[in-house]
Structure 1
Amino acid sequence: MHGSHNHLPQLNGRLFMTDGGLGTTLIFHEHRNLPHFASFMLLGDARGRQALWRYYASYAELAQNYDTGLVLDSPTWRANRDWGAALGYDTDALKEANHKAITLLLHLRELYETERNPMVIGGNVGPRGDGYTACDSEGIRIAADYHRPQIETLIDAGVDMISALTMTHSQEATGIALAAWACAAPVVVSYTVETNGRLPSGETLPDAIARTDDCTSGYPAYYMINCAHPQHFAPMLEQCDKCRGRIRGLRANASCRSHAELDACQELDAGNPEALGEAHRSLMGLLPNIAVVGGCCGTDTRHVEAIFRHCAETQAPQQARAAASYRSPAAKA
């Protein structure tokens, strides 16, 4: 059995786009101060909201130019209880921030969505820890109870699904999936891996996916890999086919560096957008059910344009024709 995800348009056979590295774009391109990488704090003032709007609108325009659908995950990766407390947000303020995040994306959808360009809004639920190391596993039930208030707020605000991004161990991811299931909301689980292809917890990706599926009766709509470079996870995919069919989304990093190296970087490592796009070509053969592609840390519209173009050329001929005729303004720069 799989989750209640039949209505998610990104699972209807067309390749969808998603956005890139929100935090790194805001910090290094927009020169915004983001304590604890908390993008949701920008919702508190007009200039911050404008910066978020510009970011998301750039991907809405890119998706329109490619005649494709778009999945946008809210800037709420840090908008859970512990991180909120560290940033001075009480329960009510945190709930308001989560609502404002979804309201912004709903307004964007009103302006940009068309029949040919459906937009899916994901409520972004990040890890309780920092997302780069595996904090002590507290158990599945504790994780479910911890994340459920944010999940309920995001659902109340109007999301289409819950997106659990940058998961570092299977127990927390499973807890989030169970909390979403209890709320009857579709959920997508995205694991991150280190340079050795394993989760920060030491688990292999196939094992983490199998554990989450086993504990949830296969409830997640699909799985993703994010915050890692293709060279970190491609060897694992080549060696093991147990989980390939369940992985339907990729949000790769621009850089080949490890999480620890990226965390210590004072300058953005944007890598090479075209090379990153090309690196996704071989992944298409390994992931037969791929449905959503975009970027993570260090990526912007240049990278996502290149990734989508290369993936579309191998998977979706009609979108490849659009890709061949269009280059984003950022890509031309």
Structure 2
Amino acid sequence: MRLYRDALPQLSGRPFLTDGGLETTLVFLNKIELPCFAAFPLLGTEEGRGELERFFEPYIALAQRHRAGMILDAPTWRANPDWGAQLGFDADALAAINRTAIRFIAALRRHHSGSGLPLVLNGVIGPRGDGYRPESAMSADQAADYHRPQIEVFADSEADMVSAVTLTTVAEAVGIARAARAERLPVVISFTLETDGRLPSGQTLGSAIRETDAETDAAPAYYMINCAHPVHFEPALTESGPWLERLRGVRANASTKSHAELDAATALDIGDPQDLGRRYAGLRERLPNLTVLGGCCGTDHRHIAAICEACF
């Protein structure tokens, strides 16, 4: 059942949580091998689905404890044609695994339906290329064509929304937003930022949001920042302008290291969860509509717990 597609509850001002760094938790903490850093193949086995269920449970418990909503992300960040091909998934197999992913989080929602909290089903889209480097730039039309099959699967499912995360260019964001709008599916755009607070393409965050809105008639429901530490993007938020009101979510990294350093890392840097929580509290004071709080690389339920303690 599509509960929230016509009215996303996180737009009401109520705080919502997301999970933390799924892939880094599975690889570094749970010692699970993820070729191409892709979690979606785990959906193909009972053991893999069990690992994913155990990953989500602490976050849902935190949402229940703090009476926050929860956005349940499908583990589909890498479930697109280029990455799927490297893992042996053709177009039909990708469509099937994306459908399975939404059924998986829908089952989680049904299991926790007695909590009375809004649990939003989110189909996750990742960039065509590497989330740290805009090496395979596409036009907006090319991006729409490329990502449309995955969006169509989500639109035909129970998903309430779709989020495109770790995006590095405006063109890809525009293409995804246009494709989602054509399917009447709410879409969220989340950019990744470098240590200078800019997109990997060099564009400022404010400029990227303004341009995406202009090219899509403000199609995104809201914008987010992910895969960067607050110390990297806090200075970018000192700029004034209506674009700041479009930022509703942050999923920060645990580490203050650069993307290049993290890409080469062989050990997990969990940073300082309490400091991260305090920085989120500061972000909530600075960003009037910041309601969606979660984590990205290196974060786990301990970081989200610290964020909850600092913010609620």
Give the TM-score, by structure 1 length.
Answer: 0.90
Q: CA deviation at 1:233?
A: 0.5
Residue identity in the other structure for 1:248: R
Residue identity in the other structure for 2:229: H
Q: CA deviation at 1:241?
A: 3.4
Q: How does 1:32-43 map to 2 (within 5 A)?
A: 32-43=32-43
Q: CA deviation at 1:226?
A: 0.3
Conserved? CA contact 1:39–1:75, under 8 Å: yes
Instruction: Find the aligned partners of 1:193 and 1:308 in 2 and give their Cα distance.
Output: 24
Q: In structure 2, what is the equivalent of residue 322 of structure 1?
A: none
Instruction: Find the aligned partners of 1:137 and 1:242 in 2 and give their Cα distance.
Output: 28
Q: CA deviation at 1:66?
A: 1.2
The secondary structure found in structure 1 opposite 2:63 is helix
Partner deviation per Cα, 1:261-299 (whole Å, 9 max, x = no partner)? 001000000011111101112211210011110100000
Conserved? CA contact 1:188–1:220, under 8 Å: yes
Conserved? CA contact 1:294–1:308, under 8 Å: no
Q: Which runs of 5 or more structure 1 residues have no equivalent in the other structure?
A: 313-333
The secondary structure found in structure 1 opposite 2:298 is coil
* % same residue: 53
Residue identity in the other structure for 1:176: I
Q: In structure 2, what is the equivalent of residue 187 of structure 1?
A: 187
Q: How does 1:25-64 map to 2 (within 5 A)?
A: 25-64=25-64
Q: In structure 2, what is the equivalent of residue 178 of structure 1?
A: 178
Q: CA deviation at 1:114?
A: 4.1
Q: How does 1:181-330 map to 2 (within 5 A)?
A: 181-312=181-312
Aligned length: 309
Q: In structure 2, what is the equivalent of residue 91 of structure 1?
A: 91
Partner deviation per Cα, 1:89-112 (whole Å, 9 max, x = no partner)? 011111111111111100000011
The secondary structure found in structure 2 opposite 1:248 is strand
Q: Which moved more, 1:281-290 or 1:184-193?
A: 281-290
Partner deviation per Cα, 1:201-244 (whole Å, 9 max, x = no partner)? 11100111011100110010000000000000000101343421
Instruction: Find the aligned partners of 2:282 and 2:161 in 1 and give their Cα distance.
Output: 29
- The alignment status of 1:123 with 2:123, answered yes or no, reads yes
Q: CA deviation at 1:139?
A: 0.5
- The alignment status of 1:156 with 2:156, answered yes or no, reads yes
Q: In structure 1, what is the equivalent of residue 143 of structure 2?
A: 143
Conserved? CA contact 1:280–1:307, under 8 Å: yes
Conserved? CA contact 1:20–1:294, under 8 Å: yes
Residue identity in the other structure for 1:279: R
Displaced runs of 4+ in structure 1, greater than 6 A?
none
Instruction: Find the aligned partners of 1:274 and 1:302 in 2 and give their Cα distance.
Output: 9
Conserved? CA contact 2:124–2:164, under 8 Å: yes
Instruction: Find the aligned partners of 1:263 and 1:113 in 2 and give their Cα distance.
Output: 38
Q: Which runs of 5 or more structure 2 residues have no equivalent in the other structure?
A: none
Instruction: Find the aligned partners of 2:258 and 2:29 in 1 and give their Cα distance.
Output: 22
Instruction: Find the aligned partners of 2:179 and 2:101 in 1 and give their Cα distance.
Output: 20
Conserved? CA contact 1:67–1:116, under 8 Å: no
Residue identity in the other structure for 1:63: A
Q: In structure 2, what is the equivalent of residue 315 of structure 1?
A: none
- The alignment status of 1:112 with 2:112, answered yes or no, reads yes
Residue identity in the other structure for 1:28: F
Change beyond 3 A, Cα 1:57–1:115 = closer
Residue identity in the other structure for 1:72: L
The secondary structure found in structure 2 opposite 1:70 is strand
Give the TM-score, by structure 2 length.
Answer: 0.96
Q: CA deviation at 1:113?
A: 2.8
The secondary structure found in structure 1 opposite 2:156 is helix
Residue identity in the other structure for 1:184: R
